[in-house]
Amino acid sequence: MTSTPTLAPYKAEFLQASIEGGVLKFGQFELKSKRVSPYFFNAGNFYRADLLRAISTAFAKTIIEASSPIAVTPLEFDIVFGPAYKGIALAVTTVDKLAHLEPERFGKICYSFDRKEKKDHGEGGNIVGAPLRGKRVLIVDDVVTDGTAKREAIEKIRNEGGIVVGIVVALDRMETLVAPGGQELEDKTSAIGAIRREYGIPVLAILTLDDIIWGLRQNGKEEDIRSMEEYRAKYKASY
């Protein structure tokens, strides 16, 4: 049985804020994949100031950790990119928090996001914020479901001349991909694992399913813990 012995304080604080703020819920939820999940994470619910502060802090500290000079392969980037729509607020607030926490390193970091539809007047274009051409771009978003939205974001950035250097998401569900229509695949690859292999870039997460189960063990209902462990055992990816 997989377990997480401890969590970094910022991860534990983010997990607690997600539960208390109703962002992370437990019960029965039908996913896009048609699986029935014992939990649901909705980053769109981080609309309250204290919750927005919690997620921006968690993103910033995850990025700072990954870009540390002592990391095996330090993450280096010029722009934080948020795919429309949920990613927009994440990119803007993460850049602000990075600059606040480490102004010498990140005081000049920029943000960008895309439009769903190309603007045909004014300055026009598909991108709002810093120009992407020739820049190293880090994508931030809520989760990777089947990878479609992240592939679209990568292609948009590349079409603008940007270089995607990585992706950071709020949650890694750690589960296998599902075929269109909900059929289970023999390949036990996760959506995150598929993106890593396809593009050769790191995909990081603030929290994983293992982290959530760890948090529940500290102060959760036995029924929720059992349901989460059964779900993990049934669908956990090999990566």
Active site positions, annotated: 119, 121
In this structure, what token pair is assigned to residue 73? 């392969």
Tokens (6 digits) for 198:
């396809």
User: SS3 of 76, please?
Assistant: coil
Buried b or exposed e, range 182-218, using 16+ CB within 10 angstroms: eeeeeeeebbbbbbbeebebbbbbbbbbbbbbbbbee
DSSP letter for each residue of 154-213: HHHHHHTT-EEEEEEEEEE--BB-B-TTSPBPSS--BHHHHHHHHH---EEEEEEHHHHH
Q: d(Cα 141, Cα 237) in Å, to the nearest integer?
A: 21
